[in-house]
């Protein structure tokens, strides 16, 4: 590739305690947690709204937060869902059992309600939020980030800070800093989600769409014969959110991949509109309101962290002394193409991946959000340190929020006790998260973080 040297003087902003890049579920939780504990926090978000995939991506359902016996995901994620419920902003069919108790139960919500709530929470906590502000470069030395360069309507600016948290979903900041990251050549396809009106939910048999998709594919209804349909879910009286239409082989780490993905997604949504109108009673008058502003990306970079969470940990239902969250969601790796082989692989994994049962959970150790050897950088959310299989479980919003909250609390603890990300006393972190209503049932806390065994 040809290169070009580019040098210029740019304005320098005041120093912050903590800069958080990316305002999705991980970034908003990180910024809230750190600011509430007393840090001076700046949150950078490239789009015009907080919430990430949950708002600008129109992915409007929180993954399971309970395990059939009790709520597992507490802290900021729980606070958000309870607040939406108390405001009467959740869809009519949703009850508190959805997130407080039920096993493998999704909690749908309205994107606009979440945007507004996050605005209110972040402002009330004193976080300085900069929307339409994209992190474009970073300066780091000796495993320590010194500052970041952002672009917004004011041009390019340099922002120094003491601690940095990367919640961009794609490990953008970590990548600029030279943190080793893994990508999966067989990455899961994205989906462009969409919002629809005019649905008579009283007449819709939810399970029918999963049976009729086979008939429609057989009849040649779709330009790509994709039998894996995540589906249409109720988010309001006549409203539904559609997670349908895989963007196969559109690489989200390439600008052309994202562009082609958005255009393909908009074309596919029209085919799904006619599918629902034709095949699903109650959807005869379904109307497309909008497609999302962000391409729905399921998998890009995963950092190499102090701990690499593996499928063996998941299968062992492993508990860690330094876990920052516990979770119970199956491994969900979408079909990578329309072949029979892929559909069989997906169907088998869905039923046969050592799926955790009711009452069970596995732990998320602190080391999955700490890039190996780094002192003042955390990477929380989708781009955590895990293998492909377990990433297929913890890539979702409740887990991202728990990781973000832990990163925010850890950054504040490092400021308070003059520690570094990779030497932080994790017993203090666990106690801090518990005090903020996280459910962390482990006993026998220890100061040192869990690291992979040497040579493992
Ligand atoms: C189609 C689809 C369906 C899904 N379904 C569900 C579901 O039903 N339930 C569930 O819980 N999860 C679901 N997920 C997963 C979930 O939405 C994401 O994995 C989760 O939102 C990840 O959170 P995050 O905070 O890590 O990243 P994101 O939500 O992606 O947020 C990252 C934020 O960072 C911003 N950003 C990126 N780069 C920069 C930059 N350089 N500078 C500034 N800002 C930047 C982005 O604009 C974005 O707001 C789904 C995902 C997809 C794609």
Cβ burial, residue 318 (10 Å; 0-12/13-18/19+): middle
Q: Whose CA is nearest to atom 35 of ligand 1?
A: 22
> Cα(24) to centroid of ligand 1, in Å?
6
Q: Cβ(392) to ligand 1 under 6 A?
A: no
Cα 100 to chain centroid, rounded: 20
Q: Cβ(28) to ligand 1 under 6 A?
A: no
Give the nearest ligand 1 atom to 173 CA.
41
Q: Whose CA is nearest to atom 13 of ligand 1?
A: 396
| Span between the terminal Cα atoms of the chain, in Å | 36
pLDDT above 50: residue 25: yes
Q: Please, what are the domains in the chain?
A: 9-184+299-456 (3.50.50.60), 190-291 (no CATH)
The tens digit of pLDDT for each residue in 275-317 reads 999 999 999 999 999 999 999 999 999 999 999 999 999 999 9
Distance CA 274, CA 293 (A): 22
- 413 close to 162: Cβ distance less than 8 angstroms: no
- 360 close to 314: Cβ distance less than 8 angstroms: no
Q: Cβ(393) to ligand 1 under 6 A?
A: no
Residue 334: Cβ within 10 Å count: 18
> Cα(447) to centroid of ligand 1, in Å?
31
φ, ψ of residue 300 to 5 degrees: the values are -135, -110
Distance CA 280, CA 302 (A): 39
Q: Cβ(23) to ligand 1 under 6 A?
A: yes
* Sign of CA pseudo-dihedral 383, 388, 390, 393: positive
Give the nearest ligand 1 atom to 172 CA.
41
Give the pLDDT score at 354: 75
Q: Cβ(400) to ligand 1 under 6 A?
A: yes
Distance CA 367, CA 137 (A): 25
Give the nearest ligand 1 atom to 192 CA.
1
The DSSP bridge pattern shows strands 302-303 and 155-166 to be: unpaired
Q: What's the rounded mean pLDDT across residues 63-78?
A: 98
Distance CA 246, CA 252 (A): 13
Give the pLDDT score at 306: 98
Q: Cβ(135) to ligand 1 under 6 A?
A: yes
What proportion of the chain, given as a percentage, has pLDDT over 90?
A: 96
pLDDT above 50: residue 454: yes
> Cα(42) to centroid of ligand 1, in Å?
19
> Cα(186) to centroid of ligand 1, in Å?
19
pLDDT bracket for residue 350 (50, 70, 90): confident
> Cα(78) to centroid of ligand 1, in Å?
18
Q: Cβ(247) to ligand 1 under 6 A?
A: no
β-bridge partners, 145: 140
Q: What's the rounded mean pLDDT across residues 97-106?
A: 97
DSSP class of 125: T
The DSSP bridge pattern shows strands 181-182 and 377-379 to be: unpaired
Distance CA 201, CA 230 (A): 18
pLDDT above 50: residue 456: no
- 26 close to 160: Cβ distance less than 8 angstroms: no
pLDDT bracket for residue 351 (50, 70, 90): confident
Go through 177-193 and write b for each residue having 16 or more CB atoms within 10 A of its CB, e for each that does not.
Answer: bebebbeeeebbbbbbb
Q: Cβ(44) to ligand 1 under 6 A?
A: yes
The tens digit of pLDDT for each residue in 199-216 reads 999 999 999 999 999 999
- 328 close to 64: Cβ distance less than 8 angstroms: yes
pLDDT bracket for residue 355 (50, 70, 90): confident
pLDDT above 50: residue 455: no
Q: Cβ(396) to ligand 1 under 6 A?
A: yes
What integer best gives the mean pLDDT of the chain? 97
Q: Whose CA is nearest to atom 45 of ligand 1?
A: 22
Q: What's the rounded mean pLDDT across residues 185-205?
A: 97
CA dihedral 356, 358, 363, 364 (to 10 degrees): 80
Distance CA 21, CA 44 (A): 5
pLDDT bracket for residue 400 (50, 70, 90): very high
CA dihedral 408, 172, 121, 25 (to 10 degrees): -90
Count CA atoms within 13 Å of residue 147 on its CB side: 14
Q: Cβ(280) to ligand 1 under 6 A?
A: no
The tens digit of pLDDT for each residue in 169-187 reads 999 999 999 999 999 999 9
């Amino acid at each position: 590739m040809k290169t070009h040297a580019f040098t210029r003087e740019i304005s320098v902003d005041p120093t912050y305690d903590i800069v958080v890049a990316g305002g999705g579920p991980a970034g908003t939780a990180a910024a809230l947690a750190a600011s509430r504990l007393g840090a001076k926090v700046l949150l950078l978000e490239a789009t015009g709204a907080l919430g990430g995939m949950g708002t600008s991506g129109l992915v409007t359902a929180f993954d399971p937060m309970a395990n059939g016996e009790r709520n597992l995901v507490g802290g900021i994620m729980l606070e958000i869902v309870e607040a939406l419920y108390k405001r009467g902003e959740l869809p009519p069919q949703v009850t508190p059992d959805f997130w407080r108790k039920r096993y493998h139960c999704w909690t749908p919500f309205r994107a606009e309600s979440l945007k507004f709530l996050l605005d209110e929470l972040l402002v009330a906590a004193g976080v300085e939020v900069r929307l339409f502000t994209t992190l474009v470069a970073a300066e780091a030395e000796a495993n320590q980030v010194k500052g970041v360069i952002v672009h917004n309507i004011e041009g390019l600016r340099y922002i120094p800070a003491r601690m940095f948290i990367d919640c961009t979903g794609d490990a953008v900041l970590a990548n600029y800093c030279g943190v080793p990251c893994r990508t999966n050549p067989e990455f899961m396809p994205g989906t462009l989600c969409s919002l629809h009106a005019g649905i008579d939910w009283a007449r819709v048999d939810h399970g029918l769409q999963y049976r009729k998709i086979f008939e429609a594919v057989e009849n040649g209804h779709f330009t790509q014969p994709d039998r894996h349909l995540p589906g249409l879910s109720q988010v309001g009286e006549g409203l539904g959110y559609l997670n349908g239409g895989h963007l196969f082989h559109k690489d989200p780490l390439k600008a052309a991949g994202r562009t082609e993905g958005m255009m393909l997604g908009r074309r596919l949504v029209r085919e799904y509109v006619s599918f629902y109108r034709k095949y699903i009673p109650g959807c005869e008058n379904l109307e497309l309101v909008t497609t999302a502003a962000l391409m729905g990306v399921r998998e890009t970079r995963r950092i190499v962290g102090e701990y690499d969470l593996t499928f063996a940990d998941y299968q062992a239902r492993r508990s860690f002394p330094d876990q920052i969250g516990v979770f119970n969601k199956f491994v969900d790796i979408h079909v990578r193409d329309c072949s029979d082989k892929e559909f069989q692989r997906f169907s088998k994994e869905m039923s046969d991946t050592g799926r955790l049962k009711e009452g069970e959970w596995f732990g998320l150790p602190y080391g999955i959000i700490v890039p190996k050897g780094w002192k003042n950088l955390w990477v929380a959310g989708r781009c955590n340190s895990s293998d492909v299989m377990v990433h297929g479980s913890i890539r979702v919003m409740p887990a991202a929020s728990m990781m973000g909250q832990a990163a925010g609390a850890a950054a504040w603890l490092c400021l308070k006790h003059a520690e570094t990300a990779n030497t932080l006393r994790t017993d203090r972190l666990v106690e801090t998260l518990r005090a903020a209503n996280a459910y962390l049932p482990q006993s026998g806390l220890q100061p040192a973080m869990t690291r992979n065994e040497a040579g493992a």
